[in-house]
Amino acid sequence: MQESISKPKINRKIWTNRQRYIEWTLKKMIIL
């Protein structure tokens, strides 16, 4: 049971990191 609960948390962390990376790249594009 613990594994099934911990897996979604990891997926959420990866998704948030992707969103931050996309935002950062967009900001860089706007600055450049």
Name the DSSP letter for residue 32: -
**pTM, to two decimals:** 0.46
Query: Residue 21: which of 3, 8, 13, 10 has the closest Cα?
Result: 13
Taking the C-alpha atoms of residue 4 and residue 13, their distance in angstroms, rounded to an integer, is: 15
**pLDDT at residue 14, as a whole number:** 77
Q: How confident is the model at residue 31 (pLDDT cuts 50, 70, 90)?
A: confident
Q: Using one digit for the tens of pLDDT, what is the confidence trace for 5-21?
A: 566 676 677 778 888 99
